[in-house]
Chain A
Amino acid sequence: DTAVSQTPKYLVTQMGNDKSIKCEQNLGHDTMYWYKQDSKKFLKIMFSYNNKELIINETVPNRFSPKSPDKAHLNLHINSLELGDSAVYFCASSQRTATNEKLFFGSGTQLSVL
C-alpha cells in the first residue's frame, strides 16, 4: 500500500563501512529523488533520476552513488561512511503533468555512523 517505501528505516554502522538504502515507488512515477536531512532538519536534494537517467546531481561526495535498475527503484549506495554522513535520508518520487506535479516522500532512513 505504501506509495514510496524505503528500507531500512534505521541504519547504525561504523565509520569506513559501505551501506545501501533501497527505495521503491508503486505510483508509476517517472522521476525519483534522494534528499538528505541533517540534524537541524535542513533538507537538501542530492540526486534526481528520470526514467533511470541522472538529471540532478548536487555537490555530493562521490562516495555516494545512486543506482536506478528501473524507474520504480532508486537505491543509494554509500562507500567509506564518515561521521558527517549521519542524517535522515529521504527518497521521493513525482510525475509531472501539464497541470500539476506533486512530490511524494518516503518515511526516511535514519543513518547513524559511529
Chain B
Amino acid sequence: GDSVTQMEGPVTLSEEAFLTINCTYTATGYPSLFWYVQYPGEGLQLLLKATKADDKGSNKGFEATYRKETTSFHLEKGSVQVSDSAVYFCALSGRGGGGSQGNLIFGKGTKLSVKP
C-alpha cells in the first residue's frame, strides 16, 4: 500500500543553519504531496504542498520539490530560526487521490529543535 518514509529525528540545529528533512514515498498513481508542521501543544498545520511532478511548494522560507523519478519530497530551509522548532510531517494523498487531503497518509514525523 501507499506509504511515506521520513528521516528519523530528532534533528538539532543552530539558528541560521541549513535544514533538510528527507521524505520518500511509495504510491500507486500520482498522489499529491504535503508537508505539515505541528508546533508544541497545537494541531497540525499545512506548511506547503505540491500536486504534480516537478512542482515546488514553498511557504515561510521552506521549500520542497516533487521528484517523481526519485519518489521524494525533501523539505529544505536555508536559514532556520528558533521559532521553526516543531515536528514536521510529510504526507501524501491516499486512495481517492486527486489532491484530496482527507485521506492523508503521514510519515512518522521529524522533530526539529533549533538552538539560539
1/0 per position for A69-110, CB-CB distance to B under 8 A? 000000000000000000000101010100001110111100
Question: Is B42 a contact of A42 with CB atoms below 8 Å?
Answer: no
Which residues of chain A have C-beta atoms less than 8 A from B106's C-beta? 42-44
How far apart sit A56 and B104, CA to CA, in the bound complex (Å)?
Answer: 11
A90-B44, A92-B43, A105-B43 are known contacts. Are A33 and B109 too (CB-CB below 8 A)? no
Question: Is A41 a contact of B108 with CB atoms below 8 Å?
Answer: yes
How far apart sit A105 and B52, CA to CA, in the bound complex (Å)?
Answer: 24
A45 within 8 A of B: yes
How far apart sit A4 and B100, CA to CA, in the bound complex (Å)?
Answer: 19
Contact of B100 among A41, A42, A101, A106 (CB under 8 A): A101
1/0 per position for B95-106, CB-CB distance to A under 8 A? 000011111101
Count A-side interface residues using an 8 Å CB cutoff: 23
**Please, which residue of chain A has its CB at the minimum distance from the CB of B99?**
A101
Measured as residues with beta carbon below 8 angstroms from the partner, the interface class of chain B is: 10 to 19
Which residues of chain B have C-beta atoms less than 8 A from A68's C-beta? none
1/0 per position for A39-51, CB-CB distance to B under 8 A? 0111111001000
Which residues of chain B have C-beta atoms less than 8 A from A42's C-beta? 106, 108-109
**Please, which residue of chain A has its CB at the minimum distance from the CB of B95?**
A56
Question: Is B101 a contact of A94 with CB atoms below 8 Å?
Answer: yes
Contact of B104 among A41, A96, A103 (CB under 8 A): A103
**Please, which residue of chain B has its CB at the minimum distance from the CB of A102?**
B46
Minimal beta-carbon separation of B39 from chain A (angstroms): 10
B14 within 8 A of A: no
A41-B87, A42-B109 are known contacts. Are A108 and B43 too (CB-CB below 8 A)? yes
Question: Is A40 a contact of B108 with CB atoms below 8 Å?
Answer: yes
How far apart sit A42 and B109, CA to CA, in the bound complex (Å)?
Answer: 7
Question: Is B89 a contact of A43 with CB atoms below 8 Å?
Answer: yes
Contact of B102 among A43, A44, A48, A105 (CB under 8 A): A48
Minimal beta-carbon separation of A55 from chain B (angstroms): 8
A-B pairs with beta carbons under 8 Å apart, 24 shown: A31-B102, A40-B108, A41-B87, A42-B108, A43-B44, A45-B94, A45-B102, A48-B102, A92-B43, A92-B44, A101-B100, A101-B101, A101-B102, A102-B46, A103-B44, A103-B46, A103-B101, A103-B102, A105-B43, A106-B43, A107-B41, A107-B43, A108-B42, A108-B43
